[in-house]
Chain A
Amino acid sequence: MQTSVPPPVSQPLSVRRLQLIRVALAPLTVLLFLLLWEALVRWQDYPAFILPRPIDVWHKLLLMLADGTLFRHTTATLIEIVGGLVLGLGLATSLGYVLAKSPLLNQILSPYVVALQSFPIIAVAPLLVIWIKASVLRTVIICALTLFFPALVNTIVGIRSVEPELMALMRSLRASRWQIFTRLEIPAALPVLLAGLKVGTTLSVIGAVIREFVGANQGLGFLINLSRGLLDTSLLFVALFTLVLISLGLYGAVSLLEYRLLAWKRVA
């Protein structure tokens, strides 16, 4: 008699395997993108100011690397982005914590917070140009404003997500406010806070570029604006790709932080 053979089970891909595929796929995607780009330019025969060839952009990049302009503008933008992140997150998490802990303050202040959110921050940029002299500070403020609201909401949600019974436990153990904050509230809110940080970094990049469109004399956003005037589309692409790299880098850094800090979640 024939023994019954179990039906073939499709093996799920292991995590490691998936990661390998992802890593291998990235250069392929970039290559494919470049090839399509090149093909498009050749087929349509676009002039360089409409769509330069990839090789033109590459030459422009090398040139800008050599004379240090790319470095200078990238550093300027990066400082503004990080400054905005620090300022915006600092304010948003502290205010968020206070609002999460005090229902009264939350009721009093939330209309203003919502009003701030519905304010078109992009439209404030020209105002700041008039009001504030230091260009870097202006951008930092715009960056901070762009990410303020999402970070605030995230903090409130994170702190409110603390289990009431864990809070009762800490109180029954006579934990101090500081101990409750460091041993319970921060670790409990960390997953949500880190998710907010991820959104915050990308928003900060957007904030910085928008601000540099108006009245800045350095930065990648300034370069983009400049290239439009010069009809130097290669320059625009260099600036654009650098911005993408910054965004990816910051996002990657936060992901790495998340990976380290939330290691306990992965233990199966």
Chain B
Amino acid sequence: MTPLLSLRHVYKAYGDPNDPLHALNDVSFDVQRGEFVCMVGPSGGGKSTLLRLIAGLLHPSAGDILLDGVPLRQPSSRIGIVFQNINLMPWRTVLDNIALPLELSGVGREQRHRVAQELIHLVALDGFAHHYPHQLSGGMQQRAAIARTLAHDPDLLLLDEPFGALDALTRERLNRELLRIHNMRGQTILMITHNIHEAVYLADRVLVLSARPGVLKCDFSIPLPHPSSEDLLTDASYLQWVRRVRGAIDDTAPADLPGPPQDQT
């Protein structure tokens, strides 16, 4: 079966062609339909660059990115991206923010509002449809942003550290909701995170990307039960996986640096 997403020898370099800055070096991997994949690695690696390449916002310097076997040259409506910073439009209500992708593709007002209302329910923002973003907490805003990305029902959801700016408790709750949405709608998810626990808890697979130039170091399949339950967090095999992933990240750190960035938990 063709994988939903394929990266074939993807390179990305920035800046001066004579003295380029290599963000990604020969990255290849597949993501199967319905998988939940997390990508971890030291900051300053090419993780965000990789996500923007897949979203079609940047073009690879070399290599191919295939969606269902077809090369991707520009943003596709089958791929949705949630950015690290919450970026709702402050002048639009929650409803109109969520309906934005449909509005841009010419869906009528009534229908897009109906879809948006369903999504508001999905992300548990009932009653906040006509609020403005500044009236919501950070966690609620990011839920609205996720709902917006789901509006045109993309096959692949890209998440760039979506909960990085939120407090630990909100983050945990939103992670659980993300799993719930993933299980309910079956979307394929590729998510960047700094948090190894989060990655092991959420993902079917964890990719480890090294620092510049970004090279895919490890590709772990996490054989832990899904949907994950709270009990898992104290489970010995879970902790073992966390240690393995961390070990892989530590190995990627350049020797002349004081040490790898530690995850916060």
A262 CA to B90 CA in the complex, in Å? 11
A264 at the interface (CB under 8 A from B): yes
Is the beta-carbon distance between B57 and A183 smaller than 8 angstroms?
A: no
Cβ-based interface call for B2 (8 A): no
Total interface residues in chain A, CB < 8 Å: 21
Determine which of A174, A184, A262 lies in contact with B89 in the assembled complex, contact meaning CB atoms within 8 Å.
A184
Q: How far is the CA of A184 from the CA of B56 in the complex (A)?
A: 20
Q: Are A183 and B100 in contact (CB under 8 A)?
A: yes
Chain B: how many interface residues by the 8 Å CB criterion? 28
Which of B8-16, B80-88, B230-238, B249-257 contacts the other chain?
A: B80-88
Tell which of B74, B80, B90, B105 touches A264, judged by Cβ atoms closer than 8 Å: B90
Q: Indicate whether A67 reaches chain B with its CB closer than 8 angstroms.
A: no
Contact A172–B91 (Cβ < 8 Å): no
Is A173 at the interface (CB under 8 A from chain B)?
yes
* Alpha-carbon gap, A187 to B92, bound state (A): 10
Tell me the complex Cα distance, A229–B90, Å.
56
How many angstroms from the CA of A183 to the CA of B102 in the assembled complex? 13
| Residue B77 is within 8 A (CB to CB) of chain A in the complex | yes
B66-99 with Cβ < 8 A to chain A: 74-77, 79-81, 83, 85, 87, 89-93
With both chains docked as a complex, state the minimum distance between the C-beta of B51 and any C-beta of chain A, in angstroms: 10
Residues of A within 8 A of B104 (CB): 170, 173-175, 179, 183
Tell me if A127 is interfacial: C-beta within 8 Å of chain B: no
B55 in contact with A172 (CB, 8 Å): yes
- Residues in A neighbouring B89, C-beta threshold 8 A: 166, 183-184, 187-188
Closest chain B CB from A191 CB (angstroms): 9
- Give the residues in chain B near A188, CB-CB below 8 Å: 89, 91
Question: Interface majority SS on B: helix, strand, loop or mixed?
Answer: loop
Distance from A53 Cβ to chain B, minimum over Cβ atoms (Å)? 52
User: What residues of chain B lie closer than 8 Å to A168, measured between beta carbons?
Assistant: 52, 57, 83
User: Which residues of the partner chain A approach B81 to less than 8 Å between Cβ atoms?
Assistant: 169, 172
Rounded to whole angstroms, the CA-CA distance of A168 and B87 in the bound complex is 10
Check A173/B91 contact, CB under 8 A, given A168-B57, A267-B135.
no
* Pair A169/B87 contact, Cβ less than 8 Å: yes
Is B128 engaged at the interface, CB distance under 8 Å to the other chain? no
Question: B117 → chain A, closest Cβ, in Å?
Answer: 20
A28 interfacial by beta-carbon distance below 8 Å? no
A165 near B85 with CB under 8 A, answer yes
Segment 143-189 of A: residues with Cβ below 8 Å from B: 163, 165-166, 168-175, 179, 183-184, 187-188
A140 to B90 CA separation, bound complex (whole angstroms):
37
Does B75 lie within 8 Å of A166, measured CB to CB? no
Is the CB–CB distance between B101 and A173 below 8 Å?
Answer: yes
Answer whether residue A268 sits at the interface, using C-beta atoms and an 8 A cutoff.
yes
- Per a CB cutoff under 8 Å, which of A173, A190, A262, A264 touches B75? A173
B132 within 8 A of A: yes
Chain A residues near B131 (CB-CB < 8 A) = 267
Other-chain residue from B56, B85, B93, B105 in contact with A172 (beta carbon distance below 8 A): B56
- In whole Å, how far is A193's beta carbon from the nearest beta carbon of chain B? 13
Chain A residues, CB < 8 A from B83: 165, 168-169
Q: In the bound complex, how far is the Cα of B134 from the Cα of A173, in angstroms?
A: 23
Q: Which residues of A contact B90 (CB under 8 A)?
A: 264
A169 partner residues in chain B, CB cutoff 8 A? 81, 83, 87
Contact assessment for A163 and B87 in the assembled complex, using a CB-CB cutoff below 8 Å:
yes
**Interface mask (B23-57 → A, CB under 8 Å = 1, otherwise 0):** 00000000000000000000000000000100111
When the two chains form the complex, which single residue of A165, A264, A268 contacts B91, counting CB atoms closer than 8 Å?
A264
> For A187, what are the chain B residues with a Cβ–Cβ distance below 8 Å?
89, 91
Contact surface of B with A, Cβ cutoff 8 Å? 52, 55-57, 74-77, 79-81, 83, 85, 87, 89-93, 100-101, 103-105, 131-132, 134-135
Provide a sorted-by-A list of 13 A–B residue pairs whose CB atoms are within 8 angstroms.
A163-B87, A166-B87, A171-B57, A172-B55, A172-B56, A173-B75, A173-B100, A174-B77, A179-B104, A188-B89, A264-B90, A267-B135, A268-B135
